[in-house]
Amino acid sequence: MAQEQLKPWVVVSRSSDWKRLEKHLFQADGHEHGAVLCCGVDKANRRLIVRHVLLAKDASDFVQHGYSYRLEPAFISRALTKCKNEGLSYIAVHNHGGHGSVAFSRTDLASHERGYPALLSILSGPPVGALVFAHDAVAGDIWEPAGRAVVESMVVCGARRQEFFPCQLPMRAMLPEEVNEAFEAQVHLLGARGQALLGRLQVAVVGAGGAGSMILQALTHLGVGGLVSVDPDRLERSNRPRVVYATPDDEPTSRRMGTLKVDIAKRGARIVCPDMPFETYPLSVDDPSAAAAVTRCDAIFLAADTAVARHVVNAISHQYLIPTFQVGAKAIPVGGRIDSAFAVARILGPDGLCMWCAGLIDSTKLQVDALPPEERAAAEYVPGVRQPSVYTMNAMSSALALNDFLFTFTGLQRSQDLGPREYDFLNRRALRTVLGKARRVCAECERRRGRADGLRLPIRWTPSAA
């Protein structure tokens, strides 16, 4: 019985998990080897998010039968139990030889048709399927209750982003015949492939104030494929000098409120790139619609400093394995003088840090920030006190994060170090940020990692989010 062909999937993995799997599959013996990936399901965006990599032991879990290999029933049963207990998708994995292209054999496809309808019934919801790898290539066959789909690509997120296809043609096909003259100078650094990749990326920026507005401006100039801007605030007279593209006409008056910061950012982006898709969400990121928009992006910049924004974005980053770049700048006055002034950029998410592990989210402040505005003011310990904020300091933290993004996504990054960076303005030196002692086990990132839709995000409840 023929099955309906559905939209393709993308598989997303942490670099550390991919390295384990790659080492296991491509051993020096040149034989086939097997594994199972237990994946969270991002149904809306057709992404399978790798949570667990279960390596099959040769000759016991993965056995040769004639000219082919197969996973043994006992190993499959253990993997299915793990998937069912956590609401995950079951994806069997093996390798073929060769470089640059790969496809399932007739024997592989026949085994899928015999076994996958039963596995679908056992899991009762999540898709099941298989991946086959060659060097630098992957193909997938995914079975769902509604039909069958292929895997478009596999994305590996880490210090250096990688993407694998069934063959190398899709990457060549997506390159423009001629490079847009506007980006010619960038292409000398990134290459045509790197510039084409930027043009495919959807990027979310949470916060459109001092640092956020700079990041949105820079991403527009870099030529990313589309932007999502999230910020509930309107411009105030005191922050106009730090918000890119803001004018005196955007300030509040006795007759009207200030202009929404997301609208200022969109107006500026339209000047630079009139055709770029630019979505605005004048909401807190814990609003379900704003969180959903951030979740479908390829990268996130966190330029909002509330505990709620940190908590929600940290959860999205780990749950959906989305590389996230957090920025911050602070000057701390003590006794009438500036005691310290620094800018910091941190990489969160796949193989990066967790803000809970690093002690960067205060649970008390999180409770206060989550209150309605009128209750929040009453609960603050020092209501109305503003921290110093300066345009140039925001520029430094934004530049650090933007270059991390650029070099990571275009594959130019050489270092595997995803540790945070700090610049000390008073002593004019760049530092490796020393974080407080991390917890031995962080229940927050461990329970969220790769769960995708299988775990509710820490967002506000509404009837539509239920």
**Out of 71-80, 154-163, 377-386, 435-444, least confident range:** 377-386
Residue 61 Cα to chain centre, angstroms: 33
What rounded mean pLDDT belongs to the chain?
90
Nearest 5°: the CA angle 145, 62, 144 is 5
429 beta partners: 424
Each residue of 7-25: pLDDT tens digit? 999 999 999 999 999 999 9
Q: Is the pLDDT of residue 349 over 70?
A: yes
Mean pLDDT of 52-57: 98
Q: What pLDDT digit, counting tens, does each position of 138-188 carry? A: 999 999 999 999 999 999 999 999 999 998 755 555 545 455 778 888 888
Q: Is the pLDDT of residue 382 over 50?
A: no
Domains and CATH numbers, the chain: 9-173 (3.40.140.10), 176-465 (3.40.50.720)
- Residues 331, 393 contacting (CB under 8 angstroms): yes
pLDDT the model gives residue 379:
52
pTM: 0.92
Smallest Cα–Cα separation from 14: which of 351, 266, 281? 351
pLDDT for res 65: 83
Please say if the pLDDT value at position 385 is more than 80. Answer: no
Q: Is the pLDDT of residue 413 over 50?
A: yes
Q: What is the rounded average pLDDT of the residues 226-236?
A: 97
Residue 118 has pLDDT above 50, yes or no: yes
Tens digits of residue pLDDT in 250-293? 999 999 999 999 999 999 999 999 999 999 999 999 999 999 99
Query: What's residue 299's pLDDT?
Result: 98
- Determine the pLDDT at residue 441: 57
What's the pLDDT at 198? 93
Question: Rounded mean pLDDT of 93-114?
Answer: 95
Q: Tell me the percentage of the chain whose pLDDT exceeds 70.
A: 89
pLDDT for residue 100: 92
Greater model confidence, 212 or 412:
212
pLDDT band at 322, cuts 50/70/90?
Answer: very high
The pLDDT score that the predictor gives to residue 180 is: 72
pLDDT at position 450 is 97
466 pLDDT band (50/70/90 cuts)? Answer: very low
